[in-house]
Structure formats: structure tokens, C-alpha cells
Amino acid sequence: MSALVWLLIPLVATVAATIYVIWKGRSRGPASPYTTMSDHERFKKAFGSDEK
């Protein structure tokens, strides 16, 4: 029984990692230009860059 558990742990971890990678790598579709521009402005402000 313990051998089965030792074999199942890596198998379950591999399946979970595969699902996570697929989930994080999915395409999200086009972003809203307004959201993207406001995110970029916030990014520039965080670094103190006022250059346009």
C-alpha cells in the first residue's frame, strides 16, 4: 500500500502542475485599450517616469 502512495504522489503533483500551466498559459483575448493605457500610466508613475 505504501508503494502505491509513493507512486501516486508524483503522479498527482504532475497532473496538478500540468493543469496549472495550461490554466496560466491560456489566451485571454484582446485587452481593453483603456485598461491597458491606465495600467501603463500606473507603471510609469511607479517608476517616477514622466516622459511621454
Long-range contacts of 24-29 (CB under 8 A, 24+ apart): none
pLDDT score recorded for residue 48: 85
pLDDT score recorded for residue 42: 92
- For the chain, 52 residues long, give each residue's pLDDT as a single digit of tens: 889 999 999 999 999 999 999 999 988 877 788 888 999 999 999 998 666 5
pLDDT score recorded for residue 51: 61
The count of C-alpha atoms lying within 13 angstroms of the C-alpha of 39, restricted to the half-sphere facing its C-beta, is 6
CA-to-CA distance for 33 and 30, rounded, in angstroms? 9
CA-to-CA distance for 8 and 39, rounded, in angstroms? 43
